[in-house]
Structure 1
Amino acid sequence: MFSPKGPSLRELTVQALSSVERGYDLLAPKFDHTPFRTPDAVLDATADALRPLGPFGQGLDVCCGTGAGMRVLRPLCQGRITGVDFSAGMLAQARRAHPEAEWVRADVRDLRFAGDFDLAVSFGALGHFLPAERPALFAGVYRALRPGGLFAFPIGAPQPATSPWYWALLGFDLAMRVRNAVWRPPFVMYYRTCPLHAVRDDLSAAGFTVTTAPLTALGRREDGSPRYGLVLARRPGAS
């Protein structure tokens, strides 16, 4: 799962026993050599799905990490592109890799942007927010967008109980719950706390109009349904 340039088991253990912010600061120099970095195939499929909806003006990557989302924003946005994250270590890596972008350190549960962006994206971040925290996150993204602005992110289809991945993800989440019950500070990272129906409800409550689009380039499940979909949450108003 990890390349030779990735973190050692000891480094991963230290990260997992840290806070989310400190853990990602520690992991940042090797993050792009782990399976936690969003694959290029997912980024490219997202960009392809968004292209007919653009072009866009200014773009924002929410929970940008080391800046992989710039692969989506750069060709789609005609204005400035910005990444926001609360890990200084991840932002340092992003700044080195993408010096043309702007980088902001902030807690995305309390975003201070106001009507600045036409497109916001996020990749692999929802599991770092407990369900009770999603309303603040989505409200901040809503404020950051101009009327007619779009918030887009890929989301995987639920795994059937017959899939080994179903049990692997369930086991991971249970292990994290035990870890957080007995160890402080907590490290919030769950795979099963953001089902599509709950995410849609929270986005709608924040004021978004929500649709989804299949990302068929990423393959289909045995029943023929797409493995991934793209959530398209639009702030109502002039486009």
Structure 2
Amino acid sequence: MFSPQGPTLRELAVQALSSVERGYDLLAPKFDLTPFRTPDSILDATAEALSGLGPFGAGLDVCCGTGAGLGVLAKVCDGGITGVDFSAGMLAQARAAHPAASFVRADARALPFAEGFDVAVSFGALGHFLPAERPALFEGIFRALRPGGVFALALGSPPPVTSVAYWAAAGFDLVMRVRNAVWRPPFVMYYRPNQLPEVSADLRAAGFTVRTVPGIVLATKSDQPDRR
């Protein structure tokens, strides 16, 4: 549910009719007061899953938003942590919340890193990438990790077709497709295209070894140097 201090219906409408970048710039000051922020239960589960594989050195939060994932990295990394996002507004909020972290403004489809991190995470961002864009995203994360590095991606199980959640997601995606068909610039945010089999296949194609724990995909870069 939205907090009374969260965005108004008018503010949400303006954001939805903007580009993804501009929409998040506008939403950033109130983002953590909306249901769009990743729940603490998912963040805690990811930290627990990673704790059994670490400790790690440097960590990267891909599409960090206001920085919820940086808190996960702080628990499992004994080196520096970095957030990357293309929204200046979201980065400003993340800097205020995590002053000890480093930040880079960049498009996640063209990450400017090469073997600089031991672990990467991403929360709530996959719906902003069309299926055809996932390979570039995952290949960039693969390059950013050192050999043996781990990428943790929160990806819940799809709700059953008989559930309210299933039809809510289907309705949301339909509304977004209609919106993008008649309005420019587009606002890419779809829930249904990012299912586990397709995501896992794209991760493997990028070079990762993939396994899952409930709600979380753990993709590991080979401990052999990347010679592609």
Which of 211, 216, 227 aligns to 1:230? It is 216
Aligned AA (1:201): A
Cα drift, residue 74 of structure 1: 0.2
Q: 2: CA distance between counterparts of 1:27 and 1:230?
A: 27
TM-score by structure 2 length?
0.97
Q: 1: CA distance between counterparts of 2:150 and 2:49?
A: 13
* SS of residue matched to 1:60: strand
Residue in structure 1 matched with residue 192 of structure 2 by the alignment = 192
Q: 1: CA distance between counterparts of 2:116 and 2:24?
A: 27
Give me the identity figure in percent: 74
* SS of residue matched to 2:55: coil
Cα drift, residue 177 of structure 1: 0.2
TM-score by structure 1 length?
0.93
Residue in structure 2 matched with residue 117 of structure 1 by the alignment = 117
Q: 2: CA distance between counterparts of 1:231 and 1:32?
A: 24
Aligned AA (2:208): F
Aligned AA (2:222): P
Q: How does 1:1-239 map to 2 (within 5 A)?
A: 1-214=1-214, 229-237=215-223
Q: 2: CA distance between counterparts of 1:165 and 1:76?
A: 32
Q: Spell out, residue by residue over 1:140-188, the C-alpha distance to the aligned partner (whole angstroms, 9 max, x if none).
A: 0000000000000111111111101111100000000000000000000
Q: 2: CA distance between counterparts of 1:141 and 1:156?
A: 20
Consecutive unaligned residues in structure 1, runs of 5 or more: 215-228
- Root-mean-square deviation (CA, aligned residues, Å) is 0.9
* SS of residue matched to 1:156: coil
Q: 2: CA distance between counterparts of 1:4 and 1:160?
A: 31
Query: Where does structure 1 differ by over 6 angstroms across 4 or more consecutive aligned residues?
Result: none
Q: 2: CA distance between counterparts of 1:5 and 1:107?
A: 30
Q: 1: CA distance between counterparts of 2:70 and 2:90?
A: 14
Q: Spell out, residue by residue over 1:4-37, the C-alpha distance to the aligned partner (whole angstroms, 9 max, x if none).
A: 1100000000000000000000000000000000
Cα drift, residue 50 of structure 1: 1.1
Q: Spell out, residue by residue over 1:58-110, the C-alpha distance to the aligned partner (whole angstroms, 9 max, x if none).
A: 00000000000112000110100000000000000000111000011000100
Aligned AA (1:126): L
* SS of residue matched to 1:104: strand
Cα drift, residue 238 of structure 1: 5.3
